[in-house]
């Protein structure tokens, strides 16, 4: 079947959705993609790290390199009995394709492949290179997936010029939103020490919850930065706070606090850490913190943003909005070897939910947007 025949992308999306690829299990999805790419002359490099399957595929040896990036793993289904159809049986209903991973992001993967096939039918001797970076460790802890592939490419000085990540980005209509960056994430696991004691004898104990409360108030009221043209101001939030033995007559000896910054490029990791420590020290607390972070990235207007925005305008007649909202994505890793990274995929209204779905009439236009982007950047 020619790649641009209506239904080819849908058929491939269904084939991928039917694989039970609960993170980090690929469940054979990558074998399906690799088989199609090998027929197109791609050099395939499987890269397995730990229990995670990844692959790097490239066709061509010259610059510019346009890479499509994505993941085959999906989140758990939740209660299967609450789905209207079996999550791993792709089902067409009411103008939509239902199934776990339909929006996040197996339809994008299918559209990558058929867009490339359609492009190569018309441009077999195109300049530059086309690549794919595919992982099965995006929805999980993300330590043996894209980050490891990027490290391997970086070690041999193999860089990417343009990257499109197929994350579901759109809000109301296909093409209405392109992510051109993401905020960083800085998490802290903090233990504040006190002295455990009987609640009837507070003078013999130190309540760490009481001790840390003024510091929490100050941290919550602090203006970390004012944001910039690409990002909103940095925010600090507590996600979990636990203390106590479970008894009602015991002052706890320590309190555990999990907090997180979603930070923009107006702040740095070191700067945020130093401000937190200064506030905690100011309040005389005995504490320890374990940190974990991922950095922000931003792609300003340029060749990639213009090409994707232009393709969207041609296919669906929409002026796409550039956005940096939402959580993290694997784009944060790819930005280490690629100066221009954007994310574009289907609507994100049902991702990670029961009855996840994608509109049937969005599937071929998504393929066409990817294919026209190839033309704009490589022809």
Identify whether the C-beta of residue 138 lies closer than 8 Å to the C-beta of residue 146.
yes
Q: How far is CA 368 from CA 12, 38, 51, in A?
A: 15, 22, 34
Identify whether the C-beta of residue 146 lies closer than 8 Å to the C-beta of residue 54.
yes
Q: Which residues contact 379 (CB under 8 A, 6 or more apart)?
A: 123, 126, 127
Burial classification of residue 185, based on how many CB atoms lie within 10 Å of its CB (0-12 exposed, 13-18 middle, 19 or more buried): middle
Residue 330 among the catalytic residues: no
- CA distance linking residue 82 with residue 103, whole number of Å: 18
Which 8-state DSSP code applies to residue 82? G
Identify whether the C-beta of residue 339 lies closer than 8 Å to the C-beta of residue 197.
no
Half-sphere exposure (CA, 13 Å, Cβ side) for 50? 16
Q: Which residues contact 257 (CB under 8 A, 6 or more apart)?
A: 188, 190, 191, 192, 212, 216, 238, 240, 241
Tokens of 345: 């995929």
Decide the pairing of beta strands 160-165 and 338-343: parallel
Catalytic residue among 25, 73, 137, 364: 73
Tokens of 312: 């969207």
Catalytic residue among 25, 53, 138, 356: 138
Tokens of 318: 């929409």
Q: Cα-atom radius of gyration of the chain, to the nearest Å?
A: 24
> Between 269-282 and 208-221, two packed helices, what is the crossing angle to 10 degrees?
130
Peptide bond into 210 cis (omega under 30): no
Element (DSSP H or E) covering residue 191: strand 184-193
Tokens of 13: 């999306």
Residue 73 among the catalytic residues: yes
Q: Which residue has the tokens 């401000």?
A: 275
Q: Which residues are catalytic?
A: 73, 138
């Amino acid at each position: 079947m020619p790649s641009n025949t209506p239904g080819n992308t849908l058929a491939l999306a269904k084939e991928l959705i039917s694989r039970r690829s609960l993170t980090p299990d690929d469940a054979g999805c990558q074998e399906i993609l690799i088989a199609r790419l090998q027929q197109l002359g791609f050099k395939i490099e499987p890269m397995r790290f730990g229990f995670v399957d990844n692959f790097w595929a490239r066709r061509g040896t010259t610059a510019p390199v346009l890479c499509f990036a994505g993941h085959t793993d999906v989140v758990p289904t939740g209660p299967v009995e609450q789905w209207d159809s079996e999550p791993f049986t792709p089902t067409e209903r009411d103008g939509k394709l239902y199934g776990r991973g339909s929006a996040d992001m197996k339809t994008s993967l299918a559209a990558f492949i058929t867009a490339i096939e359609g492009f190569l039918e018309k441009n077999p001797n195109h300049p530059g290179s086309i690549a794919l970076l595919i992982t099965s460790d995006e929805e999980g802890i993300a330590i043996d997936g894209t980050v490891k592939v990027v490290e391997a490419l970086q070690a041999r000085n193999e860089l990417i010029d343009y990257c499109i990540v197929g994350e579901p980005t759109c809000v109301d209509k296909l093409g209405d939103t392109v992510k051109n960056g993401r905020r960083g994430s800085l998490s802290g696991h903090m233990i504040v020490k006190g002295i455990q004691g009987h609640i009837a004898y507070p003078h013999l104990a130190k309540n760490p919850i009481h001790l840390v409360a003024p510091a929490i108030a100050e941290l919550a009221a602090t203006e970390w930065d004012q944001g910039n043209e690409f990002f909103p101001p940095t925010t600090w939030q507590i996600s979990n706070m636990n203390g106590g033995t479970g008894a009602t007559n015991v002052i706890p000896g320590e309190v555990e606090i999990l907090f997180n910054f979603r930070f923009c490029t107006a702040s740095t990791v070191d700067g945020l850490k130093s401000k937190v420590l200064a506030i905690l020290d100011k309040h005389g607390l005995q504490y320890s913190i374990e940190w974990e972070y991922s950095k922000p990235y931003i792609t300003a207007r340029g060749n990639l943003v213009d090409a994707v925005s232009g393709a969207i305008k041609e296919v669906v007649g929409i002026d796409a909005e550039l956005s940096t909202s939402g959580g993290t994505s694997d784009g944060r890793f790819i930005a280490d070897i690629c100066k221009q990274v954007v994310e574009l995929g289907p609507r994100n209204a049902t991702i990670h939910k029961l009855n996840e779905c994608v509109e049937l009439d969005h599937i071929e236009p998504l393929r066409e947007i990817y294919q026209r982007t190839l033309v704009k950047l490589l022809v």
